[in-house]
Chain A
Amino acid sequence: MSQTPEPRELEELLRHLPLNSPPEPDALWERIQTEVHAPVDGRAVRFVRRQVRSPWLAAAAVLLAIVGGGTAGLLRAYRAPSAWKVVPLAGAPAVAGDPLTEAGALTTGQWLVTDAVSSARLSVGRIGTVEVGPGSRVRLDRAGLTAHRLTVERGSLHAVISAPPRLFFVETPSVLATDLGCAYTLEVDSAGTSWLHVTSGWVELKQGDDISLVPTGFIAEVQLGHRPGTPYAVELAEDARAALHRLDTGEGSATDLDVVLAAMYTASHNITLRHRSWITLWHLLQRVDPDDRRRVYPRLVSLSAPPSGVTMEGILALDRRMLKRWRADLYPMWSEEAQPWLTRIGRRIWNWAIR
């Protein structure tokens, strides 16, 4: 193929195109590494990219799904030893009313109670640990191969779980926290208000039909009788947190919304920061009245434009599919639409098995 002749002078001029270095290349490198090695995002990419390309592969996958479903059914029927190992870390926590001075066991239905100076560590099967802080009252509801479940009446715990999503659940008076592969701190005060701080991965907070998805570096609060609060980044200013709280509980004003919007990152910030504010605004949009939604929507768009098929009208009308699609555009791991149908079937079988 003969190439178009290029005038030598023009070529020389074009060689003057300046080569620029990114500002703060080490900081950029840190962000790249963080994102590349984030386990949540890694799963997201695989969900999106993996597609069945061969009928034989599809047949094998169907067979695998059937076998997997059967196995999951057996797992559901089987109950692992219904106890967790418990180790006192400070003071003398009590299990079923008896003070614990050395390692013991917490069986299903039993309460672990810590006073103002005691704390304990629980082993969540083989998938992680839970440290129960002072002043806590915690009950083990289920310890099995397919689900682990705790109830926290009051106090605090710090969970570190390394397992597939939806294996570890914590119920508080105000909300159900579902682990999606993560580490987090959960506090419950005497009024039943729950306070969640995620330090790794994601946690789902659910109350009735209302859900909040809380990622790394975010906090969410849930008051008794209210839906899960809007997650916000840990660096959010105190006045913006207070305004957000008022908006969440239906006591907010237009001024509160001004304060929250002013505290959000803008289009001039990098993609990581923009997505942090996007998460907050995506939740907030679903919690404010239609007039305020019209103010939140443009900020969402400026942080990350919606994918095709997602319209302003749909989002303002809180169309569930569009909301989900937009979220999945940023965080594909949440997107059922982004998953091959076999993956979806597999996940449903798994969810049925662990329920």
Chain B
Amino acid sequence: MAEPELDADILEGCRRGDPEAQRRVYERYRDRVYSVALHYLRGDHAAALDVTQEVFVKAFRAAHGFRTDARFSTWLYRIAANACIDELRRRRRVVLFGDIPSAIHPAVEPADPTDLSGEVAVAVSRLSPKLRLAVLLRYLDDLSYDEIATALDCSVGTIASRLSRAHAILARQLAHLHPGHPPPEEPLDVTDA
């Protein structure tokens, strides 16, 4: 179930640039924004921190132009999604140049083999970026298909298609978590395109 929208007073304060209102928005969304960035960037904490900072700075600077007929959370996730995508693009340029920053880690590795969250995080981190982002917004942030479509600036049908493909891949990858199912053998969809 999605979280209730922010109070109108906080939103109005945020639009006026009131630091107290901004602080409440930050506290409300920081973990979700950070988590989306962290999973999307495959466990790179430093990059996720940068993205989180960028998202809130952009949001607070542009808050005066926020239309109240839209959901604030969807608007914020749209900024977050764009920031994640931009970060990945920047990183590709770095990788193409041949100088891979040491902070880039391959994936979120499970600390405890019995911890389902680690298994799920690894499986999600192996999805292609487009599928990964849709899954993160759906299951980490509880966004509806409509809201994900707004955040990612595409149609609901596209989101449905991406989630359907992601579900199929994840169902195979996570099948072994059910009793009687063997570990996955099929190749993973790891294309960063």
A residues whose Cβ falls under 8 Å from a Cβ of B: 1, 3-4, 6-7, 9-11, 13-23, 25, 28-29, 31-33, 35-36, 42, 45, 49, 266-272, 298, 301-302, 304-306, 312
Contacts and interface: CB of A to CB of B under 8 A. Distances in A.
Contacts of A270: 46, 49-50, 53
Interface residues of B, number: 58
B27 to A, nearest CB: 8
Contact of B164 (A4, A29, A49, A305): A4
Given A9-B178, A23-B45, A23-B49, 11 more contacts: A4-B161, A18-B35, A21-B30, A35-B57, A36-B60, A36-B61, A266-B103, A267-B94, A268-B101, A271-B54, A305-B94
A306 B94 CA distance: 9
Given A1-B145, A14-B170, A32 B26 contact: yes
Given A14-B139, A270-B49, A4 B120 contact: no
Contacts of A267: 46, 94, 101-103
Contacts of A9: 178
Contacts of B124: 14, 17
Nearest to A25: B30
Contact of B91 (A7, A269, A305, A306): A305
Contact of B99 (A11, A25, A42, A298): A298
A215 to B, nearest CB: 17
Contacts of B118: 18
A17 B171 contact: no
A17 B46 contact: no
A19 B22 contact: no
A272 B52 CA distance: 13
Nearest to B103: A268
B31 interface: yes
A33 B59 CA distance: 12
A28 B61 contact: no
A301 B94 contact: yes
Contact of B53 (A6, A21, A35, A301): A35
B46 A269 contact: yes
* Top 8 A-B pairs, shortest CB-CB distance: A267-B101, A4-B164, A305-B93, A268-B103, A14-B139, A271-B50, A18-B117, A22-B34
A247 to B, nearest CB: 22
B157 interface: yes
12 contacts: A4-B161, A10-B174, A13-B177, A14-B124, A17-B139, A18-B117, A18-B118, A25-B30, A266-B101, A271-B53, A301-B93, A305-B93
B42 interface: no
Which of A11, A19, A33, A49 has the largest count of B CB atoms less than 10 A from its CB?
A: A19
A10 B171 contact: yes
A29 B55 CA distance: 12
B19 A31 contact: no
A18 B36 CA distance: 10
A332 to B, nearest CB: 12
Contact of B31 (A22, A33, A35): A22
B98 to A, nearest CB: 8
B71 interface: no
Nearest to B58: A45
A163 B172 CA distance: 62
Interface in B7-60: 17, 19, 22-23, 26, 30-32, 34-35, 38-39, 45-46, 48-50, 52-54, 56-57, 60
